[in-house]
Amino acid sequence: MNQKFVKIKKVKGTLSLPGDKSISHRSVMLAALAEGKSKIINCLESDDINSTINIFRQLGIRITRDRNEIIVHGKGFQGLLPPTQPLDAGNSGTTARLISGILAGQKFPSTIVGDESLSQRPMKRVIDPLKEFGALISCSPNGTLPINILSSRKLKAANYKLRVASAQVKSALIFAALHCEENSVITETEITRNHTENMLGLKVEENKNSRKIFVSKADYPKASEYFVPSDISTASYFIVLALLLKDSFLKIENVSLNPTRIGLIELLKKMGGKIQVENEQVSNGEKYGTIAIWSSELKNIEVPKEIIPNIIDEIPILSIAGIFAEGNFSIRNAGELRVKESDRIEAVCNNLKAAGLSVKEFKDGFEFSGDIKNRNVTFKSFGDHRIALSFGILSSVIGGKNSVDGFEAVSISNPKFIEQLKSISV
Ligand code: S3P
């Protein structure tokens, strides 16, 4: 679907956005594993979350939805039923990778498949460490889906140091370790999002160089009520829009403020962005609050390496802010962008070139300079929601006759983006 955009002069008002994607996935998973009825309030309604819900339904879990509230009737330890068909994770890396850790601990064989994009993404990063926990698991010879979990071997606790900075891999291992009597220790040297350990209340030891997570069957989840704060990644598009448009002021309520997710806000503030956090609260170990944003003059700054895992999903929209900031934009140490829902380095570079910027592409990032020269561009989404949303924002800022092809990809994380955009446009 080709989505046209008109220039937005300014934005004003207050937005309430859908639930955080990472926390929604995990709430459904923890609730399905627990024994009894759990309630999830403000659960994201999107294609990715439907992939997770549908898989648990195939595994015998009753899940009902009433608007943005979900009831999950979990079956407790070893309560999942063998699926009769391959489990389809759709476009969702979080679903495929996290569920592989859960399935590795079950007493039945299973297969995970996905759509064309997910079928090209690396899965060995989760297969190899799961084998160290004793899992009988394999993927295709080129390291991609389908993932096959072969049989009912009992998992054994392990000490594992993560080789890729990935919350998805870390979480898969935590799920596997929940199926072992003994303690496992999972160590990360680069800080990735910590929702899984937060929501399970795991013991974590942290020093300057690493974080150690301790987990065993004693930490197995119990039925609970979850409140999912709004998604900071979804908010990031509106934050950048409000910063870039003159005379704008926007408030976004109940947004997740987990410290492992707010890197973009910290960076934008350093770039000169007027952003204020108000009314901070905590639920299920997760911080949230209101974000207030005022139009600002930005300047590009160096992006530190350590912050990359924290802003990994926001780099496309950060680069849109970078176009209008003083100085040249540069991002490096971000090779992981090449294995997301699309190759996000290639996707951003192609679209920026189409708008007339001078772009240099690297294996692990990109740089650009110059101004927008073309205001009649059909940007491409590359089938990737974050690319579609980022270039939807750019189109709304620059006006002209811009559009985004393949805009339907936004249904992965925020199907109501256009309505939300209209509601704040003046
Ligand atoms: C996610 C972790 C990140 C992120 C993805 C969601 C999660 O991926 O890019 O959108 O929910 O754990 P990696 O952990 O693979 O970097």
User: Atom of ligand 1 at shortest distance to CA of 166?
Assistant: 14
Is 20 an annotated catalytic residue?
A: no
Pocket probe for ligand 1: among 92, 99, 168, 339, the residue whose CB has the most ligand atoms within 8 Å is 168
> Which pTM value belongs to this model?
0.98
Distance from the alpha carbon of residue 402 to the mean position of ligand 1, in angstroms: 30
User: Atom of ligand 1 at shortest distance to CA of 309?
Assistant: 16
pLDDT tens for the 426 residues of the chain, in order: 999 999 999 999 999 999 999 999 999 999 999 999 999 999 999 999 999 999 999 999 999 998 779 999 999 999 999 999 999 999 999 999 999 999 999 999 999 999 999 999 999 999 999 999 999 999 999 999 999 999 767 899 999 999 999 999 999 999 999 999 999 999 999 999 999 999 999 999 999 889 999 999 999 999 999 999 999 999 999 999 999 999 999 999 999 999 999 999 999 999 999 999 999 999 888 999 999 999 999 999 999 999 999 999 999 999 999 999 999 999 999 999 999 999 999 999 999 999 999 999 999 999 999 999 999 999 999 999 999 999 999 999 999 999 999 999 999 999 999 999 999 999
> What pLDDT, on a 0 to 100 scale, did the predictor assign at position 141?
97
Q: Is the CB of 315 under 6 A from ligand 1?
A: no
Distance from the alpha carbon of residue 191 to the mean position of ligand 1, in angstroms: 12
User: Atom of ligand 1 at shortest distance to CA of 340?
Assistant: 9
> What pLDDT, on a 0 to 100 scale, did the predictor assign at position 51?
98
Distance from the alpha carbon of residue 256 to the mean position of ligand 1, in angstroms: 15
Distance from the alpha carbon of residue 156 to the mean position of ligand 1, in angstroms: 26
Q: Is the CB of 47 under 6 A from ligand 1?
A: no
Distance CA 310, CA 303 (A): 11
Q: Is the CB of 166 under 6 A from ligand 1?
A: yes
User: Atom of ligand 1 at shortest distance to CA of 167?
Assistant: 14
Distance from the alpha carbon of residue 48 to the mean position of ligand 1, in angstroms: 12
Pocket probe for ligand 1: among 312, 314, 414, the residue whose CB has the most ligand atoms within 8 Å is 312
> What pLDDT, on a 0 to 100 scale, did the predictor assign at position 107?
94
Q: Is the CB of 48 under 6 A from ligand 1?
A: no
> What pLDDT, on a 0 to 100 scale, did the predictor assign at position 152?
66
Q: Is the CB of 167 under 6 A from ligand 1?
A: yes
> What pLDDT, on a 0 to 100 scale, did the predictor assign at position 67?
79
Distance from the alpha carbon of residue 168 to the mean position of ligand 1, in angstroms: 5
Q: Please give the biggest Cα pair distance in the chain.
A: 62
By alpha-carbon position, which residue is closest to atom 9 of ligand 1? 313
Q: Is the CB of 94 under 6 A from ligand 1?
A: yes
Query: Over the chain, what HEC string results?
Result: CEEECCCCCCEEEEEECCECHHHHHHHHHHHHHCEEEEEEECCCCCHHHHHHHHHHHHCCCEEEEECCEEEEEEECCCCCCCCCCCEECCCCHHHHHHHHHHHHCCCCCEEEECCCCHHHCCCHHHHHHHHHCCCCEECCCCCCCCEEECCCCCCCCCEEECCCCCHHHHHHHHHHHCCCCCCEEEEECCCCCCHHHHHHCCEEEECCCCEEEEECHHHCCCCCEEECCECHHHHHHHHHHHHHCCCCEEEEEEEECCCCCCHHHHHHHHCCCEEEEEEEEEECCEEEEEEEEECCCCECCCCCHHHHHHHHHHHHHHHHHHHHCECCEEECCCHHHHHCCCCHHHHHHHHHHHCCCEEEEECCEEEEECCCCCCCCEEECCCCHHHHHHHHHHHHHHCCCCEEECHHHHHHCCCCHHHHHHHHEC
> What pLDDT, on a 0 to 100 scale, did the predictor assign at position 190?
96
All domains in the chain, ordered by first residue: 2-19+229-424 (3.65.10.10), 21-215 (3.65.10.10)
Q: Is the CB of 191 under 6 A from ligand 1?
A: no
Q: Is the CB of 323 under 6 A from ligand 1?
A: no
How many other C-beta atoms can be found within 10 angstroms of the C-beta atom of residue 224?
Answer: 18
Distance from the alpha carbon of residue 174 to the mean position of ligand 1, in angstroms: 15
Q: In terms of DSSP bridges, do strands 225-227 and 35-41 run parallel, antiparallel, or are they unpaired? A: parallel
User: Atom of ligand 1 at shortest distance to CA of 313?
Assistant: 9
> What pLDDT, on a 0 to 100 scale, did the predictor assign at position 68?
78
66 burial via Cβ count (<10 Å: 0-12, 13-18, 19+): exposed
Q: Is the CB of 313 under 6 A from ligand 1?
A: yes
Distance CA 35, CA 220 (A): 10
Distance from the alpha carbon of residue 125 to the mean position of ligand 1, in angstroms: 13
Half-sphere exposure (Cβ direction) of 158: Cα atoms closer than 13 Å: 21
> What pLDDT, on a 0 to 100 scale, did the predictor assign at position 284?
83
Which of 20, 47, 88, 313 is catalytic? The answer is 313
